[in-house]
Amino acid sequence: MKRFLPLPFYVKLACVLISIILLGYLAKIGDTIVIPMILGLLFSLLLIPLSNFLEQKLRFPRTLAGIISVILFFGVLGYGLFLLASQLTLLKEDFPAFKQQIMDGVSNLQTWVSHQFGIQHKDQIDFINKTASKSVDSGTLFLGTALVSLSSMFILFVFTFLYTFFLLIYRGHVVKFLLFVNRVEDRSIVVDVIKQVQYVVKKYLIGLLIQMSLVSLLVFIVLSLIGVKYSLLLALITGVFNVLPYVGIFSSMLIIAILTFATSSFTHVVLVIIALIVVHMIDSNFIVPKIVGSKVKVNSLFAMLSIIIGEMIWGISGMFLAIPILAIVKIVMDRIKELKPWGFLLGEEDSKDEVYKDLFDTLNPVEKKIIEENETKS
């Protein structure tokens, strides 16, 4: 009989923190491998139904079904990226005109401040002109760097394509490995985790694609009616950024407001901001709850923390991957007895949740009464 030496709490805490730091460091230095592999895993889970249809209904070999599925998916994705890149190229060509428009607007603002608040024009003109000129020049440099970095995006695109293909055709092999590496009594849990991860990721990604399409369509219609230049580009940017909770809508609103100010009047800027707020309300109250909200039950606090940590480790890619990774982690935690409390912490507060019921049943009457009183007060 094996006996394990019980460790003090501070030793366990130190081990957990050291493990988290090591995992974060490995994820940081190995981002070239890890990011496309995670993207490939998510995309392969999304393409499993299509591959199964080609294999079972049309009798295609698994390799051929995988090739067709991946080519179709990445063809659509590549066309979207090409459309976005072409729009960005047009934006770069007009950037000098944007700079002049912004400088003229800043000059008018300086005159208004001088008349309204009595601040001498020459005291503010040097500082503001230098700041505005530096900001616009930095924006031009950033845009040029973004266009140059398309080669890096192409490399990421290729590796993600390969990972998606190989994970798709070797999915059965991977599942067998996960079963063999676990104990016999735990294999039912492994099967349940695999099924739930596949279901949640598939529904979540499909929901995100639908949400991005609807938001982009609404923003494109609104910007076209207002008369904003590059309405298609700005609509695509809003749809992509909107994937990020809370952060995305404000980032896209800032970008659209700046570009609208550079190509139009201040009145149009106000109209655009109001329109984006209305679109965001429609998205938050109708689109997300019906399409995306029921697929990933992660509370807003840890969703925001995961986005921040993802950005710190992997940059923009980490921000987009944070929510799916957190959802997968929660699914695993909900099905491992020792980790159920952590899975409950990551989820929404729902008394009907099965994990909550299992934890609630283990409490004594006094603890149950305290929880019930707190729920009543809230």
Residue ranges of domains in the chain: 31-181, 202-295, 297-378
Average pLDDT, whole number, for the chain? Answer: 77
Average pLDDT over residues 183-197: 86
pLDDT for 40: 92
pLDDT in tens, 232-273: 888 888 888 887 766 777 888 888 887 777 777 778 888 888
Q: Is the pLDDT of residue 67 over 90?
A: yes
Q: Is the pLDDT of residue 370 over 80?
A: no
Q: Is the pLDDT of residue 77 over 90?
A: no
CB-CB contact of 351 with 375 (8 Å): yes
Separation CA 302–CA 328 (nearest Å): 13
Q: Is the pLDDT of residue 116 over 70?
A: no
pLDDT in tens, 320-355: 888 888 888 888 888 887 788 888 888 876 555 565
Q: What is the pTM of this model?
A: 0.74
CB-CB contact of 177 with 199 (8 Å): no
pLDDT for 376: 47
